[in-house]
Amino acid sequence: MNEEKNKILLYSQNKFLSEGFYKITLDEIAKELHVSKKTIYKHFGSKEQLLREATFHFITEAGNKITEITKGETPAMVKFVLLMETMATVMAKFQNKWISDMEHHAKDLWLEVDSFRTQKLTANLSKLIEQGIEEGIFKKRPVPIVLQVFISAIRGVINPEFIMHSNYAMQTAMQETISILIDSMLTEKGHKVFSKIKIRS
């Protein structure tokens, strides 16, 4: 990616996530970056395009981290703990203003984000659940059903509507959701392994 475009993209990404995007103008971004608005338009046709690219740049990087965690020969429980920590860290970036703006002003974009994360989770969690069953840390239950329950729970809790109408930060909601799901999946052996890993981390 062009260095100038990347600079605008990363700055806007961080600004949107922390301050929201609805009231942020391209004039404001241009002034803070010490570039002309024409320079921004050279790379992004509109504020909406900039928002979309900034959002997908962020979630694509997060998705790549999840893929990296779930592949390889690491024990399934280690992968799940790393997955929990990574997703919680990612969710901590989403401040309430961004969440509120997404709910009220960019529902179509949120649907794209939701579709993207569902595809990523489906692609990565199926083999991880199978690995956990093989290692005896997860109960032997139909993988497609476990996967669907896992994804449905995340989609149901980690979305702008729920977050804005609850008293939970997105990071807390993510941690609690995954902890509940994993706890219900663990065998006796799994609980022991999970406890040791959490103590060690």
Task: Give residue-wise pLDDT tens across range 183-200.
Answer: 899 999 999 998 887 644
Question: Which of these ranges, 5-9, 143-147, 155-159, has the smallest mean pLDDT?
Answer: 155-159
- Class of residue 61 by CB neighbours under 10 A (exposed 0-12, middle 13-18, buried 19+): exposed
The class level of CATH for 47-200 reads mainly alpha
pTM here? 0.84
The 10s digit of each residue's pLDDT in 40-90 is 999 999 999 999 999 999 999 999 999 999 988 899 999 988 888 888 888
Indicate the helix (H) or strand (E) that contains 51: helix 47-70
Measured in Å, how far apart are the chain's first and last C-alpha atoms? 36
**pLDDT of residue 12 exceeding 60:** yes
| pLDDT at residue 187, as a whole number | 96
User: Side chain identity at 183, as an amino acid letter?
Assistant: D
The pLDDT confidence band at residue 112, using thresholds 50, 70 and 90, is very high
Tokens 């990347």: give the residue.
Answer: 6
Structure tokens at 134: 């093989």
Residue whose structure tokens are 């902890």: 179
DSSP state of 138: B
Task: Print the SS3 string covering 164-191.
Answer: HCCCCCHHHHHHHHHHHHHHHHECHHHH
Give the pLDDT score at 198: 62
| 17 neighbors 93 (Cβ within 8 angstroms) | yes
Rounded average pLDDT over 153-173: 87
Name the pLDDT band for 201 (thresholds 50, 70, 90).
very low
Report how far residue 92's alpha carbon sits from residue 171's, in angstroms, rounded to the nearest whole number: 5
